[in-house]
Structure 1
């Protein structure tokens, strides 16, 4: 078994092929990590959420990272970490284009709204949906992969 650094194109290929990542954010020197569904377009990961802890924390500290991995046969694996900056797309005229764009690329994938729309407790019925779209602008990306030396 050998571990190698991945090139940027190899990292982006893994991110493009995936849909599930782990979003890490922090506030007051405390980390928080949650699964998200995402879609990559250009230099941005797009995602969807309901209001909650991760949104509160990212509003306060927009510097985040996302980890995406893949495992193949045997002991081979690939892992990519994206360092980025959170950008919310509020339901306003100013952000309308970004919201529509985020929605259009996310909806191309099955169950794109999970787990962002799910909460562990029943939610009150409201007249307007509080859902929100956001992007993670990619600042840097790194990756490693383990390959079987026998292949």
Structure 2
């Protein structure tokens, strides 16, 4: 196992759209899968969620970790971990970021799978709702990664 160079860590983040968000709620660790878009220019991970357990916990303790893996086999994998802070977005900026999220996830899916999933229209539709979901970003503080030597 070797440490990944920062540029390779960012490439893994940019080439995927599902990761796992780790946060603390009531002194307990929680890990949940999350669709995301890695905004390389802003060095942040864009996400959204409904008000509830996760958002309430993130508002109380904004330190988070986010992990993304690419696993081909036991001897062929990469894993990246981001340490950062939760930042809730609001107003027109939140709407702009939600659009950037939906467009970015679609580009990533197009590049990886050449498919157009129907669930993305769900994200864009959120822009028109009276009560928009909570749009947030994880401001990247540190990115680390590990890989097995023969990963291609």
Q: CA deviation at 1:74?
A: 6.1
1:65-144 → structure 2 map (5 Å cutoff): 65-72=65-72, 75-90=75-90, 92=91, 96-97=92-93, 99-108=94-103, 109=106, 110=117, 111-112=119-120, 128-144=130-146
- The two structures have a TM-score, normalised by structure 1, of 0.78
Residues 106, 112 of structure 1: 8 Å contact kept: no
Structure with higher helix content: 2
Deviation at 1:52, TM superposition (A): 1.1
Partner of 1:146: 148
Cα distance between partner residues in 1 of 2:19 and 2:146: 16
Structure showing greater radius of gyration is 1
Residue deviations 1:65-106 (CA, integer Å, cap 9, x gap): 00000012562000000000000013x3xxx22x13312222
Cα 1:134–1:27 shift into 2, 3 Å: same
Unaligned runs of 5+ residues in structure 1 are 115-126
Given that 1:48 and 1:113 are in contact with CA atoms closer than 8 Å, whether structure 2 keeps it comes out as: no
Gaps of 5+ in 2: 107-116, 123-128
TM-score between both structures, scaled by the size of structure 2 = 0.78
